[in-house]
Amino acid sequence: MNTKFEFPKGFLWGTATAAHQVEGNNVNSDIWVMEHVPETPYVESSGDACDHYHRYRPDIALLAELGFNSYRFSIEWARIEPEEGVFSNAVLEHYRDMLRTCHEHNITPIVTYHHFSSPRWLIASGGWESPETPDKFARYCKRATQYLGDLIGAACTINEANIASLIVEWGFAPPPRQLHKKVWWSAAAKALGISPRRFAPFLYATSSKAIDVILTSHHKAAEAIKSASGNFPVGITLALQDIQAADGGEKRASKMRKAINDVYLEALGGDDFVGVQAYSRVRSGPKGLVPPEEGVELTQMGYEFWPEALEATIRDAAAKTGLPVIVTENGIGTADDTRRLEYVRRALQGVINCLQDGLDIRGYTYWSAFDNYEWSLGYRPTFGLIAVDRETQERTVKPSARWLGAIARANSFEQK
């Protein structure tokens, strides 16, 4: 028999995007440079992306019409502060209008101040390994909050603060010493005006120095946001895949959990919430990750279809931080929308299990609103609830969007 679960009043139901992945032509950022150097590992240019920089009004209206009551997007540091110390009020006004548009549609905006891409000048001056970066980041956050703060509903300082640790630990990118030998790495460093050895873009900043720079940046930014009249909850988001032990892998899995999750979770005291982002599980054997078992369903990313990762990571993050949780990302790259629906159905069941156990979960955000630029993989993976025609920019709502939007509007869910 089906039973109906009512979510808490005020539960945030949203979708998420990131500036570089949807706005288009983010030409003053480090990632744009990395996309366009010889032998780049980025399979294509982000180009116009979803042209969300110009189409945000109908896009936000569409999300509201579907039933969502929140929208998580990032503001782009490389646009707001195109040269060090030079702030653009015109760009801030653009983001102010995005926030205004959200409010016109009764959508609570969740703003991310940094989502992977950084201004060129920041990288030229040492990027995410430089001890000066936390103050620079805090200065930008303060300025943006002074301009936008009265319209922000909740803020994430940094998206997936632990992403570089994860990328290297799991072998998704070569370790720094090998990166230095790559043609594209040297070319990008040169284009950005820094030596290949000191080149530290966010996604590849893996030294212990970088972890400290990133966490200090978060703390200083949170303080700066609060001091600039930020009267809304402030937190950070983490990439929290469910790390499990395969045969004989308990010790290694526990080491991995420490390095990728716990170092960060344990540093979040004083925040207002923790942003949980989960997509799948990984399994570790005694020597490191083992591939998914033969025959299991894989997503376009090559991840195991494992929506239960969300429940496991919410429980872990809540237990280790003692903070309220917002699910700031959860989703699947798939060409089969019926699998997206099934994935979200099972993930939501996990959220319900946690709520029934008394955990404080404030919202669920699906990644992503649109099919968008999946970093080095280009436009191939399709995470969106809404498809985007790459030539015409025409939006097409997928059935999963209507299904999830209806759950959002009802604030309730029929459990199987």
Q: Is the peptide bond before 195 cis (omega within 30 degrees of 0)?
A: no
Print the binding letters for residues 322-361 with ligand BGC: x by CB under 6 A, - otherwise. Answer: -------x--------------------------------
Minimum distance from residue 202 beta carbon to ligand BGC (Å): 11
Write the binding mask 192 to 231 for ligand BGC: x where contact by CB under 6 A, - elsewhere: ----------------------------------------
Distance from the Cα of residue 295 to its chain's centroid: 29
Question: Whose CA is closest to 317, among 206, 237, 217, 218?
Answer: 237
Report d(CA 275, CA 179) in Å as an integer.
30
| Active-site position among 81, 160, 304, 374 | 160
369 binds ligand BGC (CB under 6 A): no
Number of residues lying near ligand BGC (CB under 6 A): 10
In contact, 273 and 233? CB cutoff 8 Å: yes
Decide if residue 371 touches ligand BGC (CB under 6 A): no
Closest by CA position to 374, among listed 283, 323, 300:
300
Q: How many C-beta atoms lie closer than 10 Å to residue 367's C-beta?
A: 24
Shortest approach of ligand BGC to residue 333 CB, angstroms? Answer: 7
Per-residue x/- mask for ligand BGC, residues 239 to 258, rule CB under 6 A?
x-------------------
Residue among 23, 30, 59, 160 that touches ligand BGC (CB under 6 A): 160
Question: Side-chain half-sphere of 23: how many Cα atoms within 13 Å?
Answer: 23
Work out which of 42, 367, 370, 379 binds ligand BGC, going by CB under 6 A. 367
Round to whole Å and give the CA distance between 361 and 323: 9
Q: Is 171 exposed, middle or buried (0-12, 13-18, 19+ CB in 10 A)?
A: exposed
Q: Residue 159, interface with ligand BGC (CB under 6 A)?
A: yes
Which x/- pattern over 255-284 shows residues binding ligand BGC (rule: CB under 6 A)?
----------------------x-------
Indicate whether 374 belongs to the interface with ligand BGC (CB under 6 A): yes
Distance CA 94, CA 28 (A): 17
Among this protein's residues, is 342 annotated catalytic? no
Which C-beta is closer to ligand BGC: that of 16 or that of 122? 16
Are β-strands 154-158 and 234-239 bridged in parallel, bridged antiparallel, or unpaired? parallel
Look at the block and give the residue holding tokens 């798939």. 334
Active-site residue set = 160
Catalog residues that contact ligand BGC under the rule CB under 6 A.
18, 21, 159-160, 239, 277, 329, 367, 374, 383
